[in-house]
């Protein structure tokens, strides 16, 4: 079945049979990225009496307990509830899942203090009418799939850049860094606050997705984004963003 949409007065074909996942899988073998000194994810077979939730260990089926923190253990999507006392959850604030997105590649600039940041002047032009932006930082290599970010002060987004995305109308911002903000910023989270326009005009339905990985084989441009997120009653959840190529007809 072919899928067509009309966008900006033009007809586009969505290549739904060519999905491009930009999520980093949550794995039990430790081959995952990690940030903020959080524990690595743990997968353990359930044990209840004589039952063991592992076919390899003699059980009738596989059934595992999983311990992880979405903010530090891989690709995750967070909502405004990440920075509010009010208990807002990703399950209630993210209610649509398909968006017109633009993938851009950006080289962070180095500040005199050694920090690497994403500045407005370094962004390529954005297309009018997009709802989401996926930011791939350069250089880009598959070491991002397992990078241990804790204590390394990774690149981050300047608050004015986050505000630029907000004012451009971007509802969903995806980035391949562990956080929009500096690793240790004294708890200010200025880029998060700027993008969500908090506390001035809180954007309850906007989301930030961090720690994606976009292979170099995926070209910059316009895509249909499917933001797959489980219905967790938390401020954030592990997620699987998927890009579908679009062709103007």
Domain-located, residue 20: yes
pTM of structure: 0.96
Report the distance separating Cα 79 and Cα 62, nearest Å.
32
Domain-located, residue 96: yes
State the CATH number of the domain containing residue 152. Answer: 3.50.30.50
pLDDT tens sequence across 59-118: 999 999 999 999 998 999 999 999 999 999 999 999 999 999 999 999 999 999 999 999
**Into how many domains does the chain fold?**
1
Measured in whole angstroms, the distance separating CA 42 from the mean position of its chain's CA atoms is 21
Measured in whole angstroms, the distance separating CA 140 from the mean position of its chain's CA atoms is 16
Residues 6+ apart with CB under 8 A from 39: 67, 68, 69
Range of the domain at 134: 3-29+70-248
Taking residue 80's Cβ as centre, other Cβ atoms within 10 Å add up to 25
**Of residues 137 and 248, more confidently modeled:** 137
- pLDDT (0 to 100) of residue 112: 97
**Quick one: average pLDDT of 208-234?**
97
Domain-located, residue 42: no
Domain-located, residue 16: yes
pLDDT tens sequence across 27-64: 888 889 999 999 999 999 999 999 999 999 999 999 99
- Residue 1 predicted with pLDDT over 80: no
- What DSSP string describes 214-247? --TTSPSEEEEEEEE----SSSEEE-EEEEEEEE
**Quick one: average pLDDT of 185-191?**
97
Its sign, for the CA torsion 97, 103, 107, 110, is negative
For the chain, the first-to-last Cα distance in angstroms comes to 17
- pLDDT (0 to 100) of residue 155: 98
Domain-located, residue 57: no
Domain-located, residue 53: no
Q: Would you say how long the chain is, in residues? A: 249
Domain-located, residue 79: yes
Domain-located, residue 152: yes
- pLDDT (0 to 100) of residue 233: 96
pLDDT tens sequence across 109-165: 999 999 999 999 999 999 999 999 999 999 999 999 999 999 999 999 999 999 999
């Amino acid at each position: 079945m072919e899928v067509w949409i009309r966008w900006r007065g033009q007809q586009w074909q969505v290549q739904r049979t060519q999905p491009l996942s930009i999520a980093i899988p949550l794995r039990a073998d430790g081959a995952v990225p990690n940030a903020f000194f959080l524990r690595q994810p743990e997968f353990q077979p359930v044990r209840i009496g004589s039952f063991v939730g592992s076919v390899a260990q003699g059980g009738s089926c596989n059934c595992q307990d999983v311990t992880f923190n979405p903010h530090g253990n891989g690709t995750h999507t967070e909502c405004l509830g990440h920075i509010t006392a009010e208990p807002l959850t990703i399950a209630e604030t993210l209610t649509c899942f398909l968006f017109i997105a633009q993938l851009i590649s950006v080289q962070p600039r180095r500040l005199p203090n050694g920090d690497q940041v994403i500045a407005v002047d370094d962004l390529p032009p954005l297309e009018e009418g997009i709802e989401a932006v996926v930011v791939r930082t350069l250089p880009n290599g598959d070491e991002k799939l397992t990078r241990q970010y804790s204590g390394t002060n990774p690149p981050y987004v300047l608050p004015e850049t986050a505000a630029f995305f907000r004012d451009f109308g971007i509802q969903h911002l995806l980035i391949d860094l562990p956080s929009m903000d500096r690793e240790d910023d004294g708890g200010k989270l200025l880029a998060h606050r700027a993008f969500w326009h908090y506390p001035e005009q809180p954007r309850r339905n906007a989301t930030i997705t961090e720690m994606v990985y976009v292979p170099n084989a995926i070209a910059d441009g316009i895509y249909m984004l499917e933001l797959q997120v489980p219905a967790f009653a938390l401020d954030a959840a592990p997620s699987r963003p998927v890009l579908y190529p679009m062709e103007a007809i």
